[in-house]
Structure 1
Amino acid sequence: MTTPSISDSNIAVLLMDYRSADTDDLYAFLDSQPDIDLLGRVRLGQDDLETVRDLRPDVVIVRTGNSEFSGVETSSFVRMQMPEAKVVMVSATLSPDNLFLALGAGIHGYVLAEAGSQAVVNAVRAVPVGAVYLSSEVTDTLVADYTRRNRAGNTGNPFTRLSKREREVFRRLVNGETTANIALELALSPKTVETYRRRLMHKLGVTGVPALVRLAVKHGVATNI
């Protein structure tokens, strides 16, 4: 594998996939982005990850097929081998339970393949700065699961403690938006957004956006509580 010239300001990305026309398109799209340095491609289950560990990627994309669980296993292995790297999982399928397993394994982004290559790039750009990125299709699935659980009489939802404004901030935090973006969208000052952020996390008993996302997934809640 030839190591490309790397810019300090760009995001170094390694793609792990199973080689198909879809992933060929994703590889080409990633390679066309001016702020992404594509380090190479590793075949899932065949190539030795240790041979590319020295490339020191900022982000590892794990593109799975129809088996979410194998993607979770692979993502967990990547986190052990390259703990400094952020992991974005791209899956053809989704269940809330497996999403929770993936977040528990330490992934930083989850994108459904049907969302397209641009959604993957959005995740790649979001996770290096500490955001947890879920594509809109993922949050839609969680909303449907949350609705189903409510109809079945599910109780104990801690998010009912939040005010309307706190819920608006929560939705945007889970989607990986920055304080500045949230302030702009809600016509608030960044300082006020930070106050809402601290308040809602205190009410929910969590610290940090990753813990907030894990709690939301655990209770089957996404962006429209």
Structure 2
Amino acid sequence: MDTEPIRVLITDDHPVFRQGLRGLLQALGVEVVGEAESGPDAVRLAAELRPDVVVMDLHMPGGNGLEATRTITRTSPRTGVLVLTMFQDDDSVFAAMRAGARGYLLKESGAEEIARAVKAVAAGEAIYGPEIARRVLTYFAGMPHPRQHAFPQLTEREREVLELIAQGRGNADIASALFLSTKTVRNHVSNIFMKLHVADRAQAIVMAREAGLGDSGKT
């Protein structure tokens, strides 16, 4: 059974680039339904033509591609935005992600990579070029993990006890899980309450769960 071709709107302020990209996409069986040379043009044409994908440059004299991306993803949720730009700095990458772009490629990307990205975005997937993906992974790898960095005033053993408290487990259960005596667990619990400045177990559970602890105990 034949499938409908992917419908694409190209947004870029350089006519020669638009022409080249149009030829590339059409050769791959993609239907280019329109071209825009600014962000406002892209917003207007996206609403009018309802393409599957808008290929969006970020920095254009006639209007900001980020603002256009934000508007299109809000007003035309079935249309995916694929950023295709020369800029690979972190500010541009993460601003585009926050604006709702499903993909981010550099203009130096090869034809196969662009085609694969257009198909992925049309299918509702998120896709990033290799260099962009490395930046994203590096960024998130550098973010503090709540289980590792929450409550630095606690010892490692006290954090383990707090993790189990956050799961709703009682002192006897905690003692069994950590191979400790119930008295030792009670001492740890008292120290935790004192260090966290909480009055009871319920307050400790709330504080721990807000920091991301206790998830592994949920069903």
Q: Which has the bigger relative contact order, CA under 8 A and spacing at least 6?
A: 1
1:47 Cα offset (Å): 3.2
Q: Where do 1:45-124 residues align within 5 Å?
A: 45=39, 47=41, 49-51=43-45, 53-65=47-59, 70-124=64-118
User: What is the match of residue 9 of structure 2?
Assistant: 14
Gaps of 5+ in 2: 148-214
Task: Give the share of equivalent positions with the same residue, in percent.
Answer: 24
Distance change in 2, residues 1:50/1:86 (3 Å): same
Normalised TM-score (structure 1): 0.55
40-49 vs 86-95, greater mean Cα deviation: 40-49
CA offset digits 1:53-81 (Å, max 9, x no partner) = 232211111123489x9332221122234
CA offset digits 1:69-127 (Å, max 9, x no partner) = 93322211222342221111111112223322222221111111121343222111012
**In 1, are the aligned partners of 2:39 and 2:67 still within 8 Å (CA)?**
no
Q: Where do 1:73-222 residues align within 5 Å?
A: 73-142=67-136, 155-156=144-145
Normalised TM-score (structure 2): 0.56
Amino acid at match of 1:24: Q
1:30 correspondence with 2:25: yes
Distance change in 2, residues 1:19/1:128 (3 Å): same
Determine helix, strand or coil for the equivalent of 1:114: coil
1:26 Cα offset (Å): 1.3
**In 2, are the aligned partners of 1:66 and 1:91 still within 8 Å (CA)?**
no
Determine helix, strand or coil for the equivalent of 2:64: helix
1:37 Cα offset (Å): 1.2
What is the count of residue pairs matched by the alignment?
A: 149
Distance change in 2, residues 1:8/1:81 (3 Å): farther
**In 1, are the aligned partners of 2:81 and 2:102 still within 8 Å (CA)?**
yes
**In 2, are the aligned partners of 1:66 and 1:92 still within 8 Å (CA)?**
no
Gaps of 5+ in 1: 1-6, 159-201, 204-225
Distance in 1 (CA, whole Å) between partners of 2:121 and 2:42 is 25
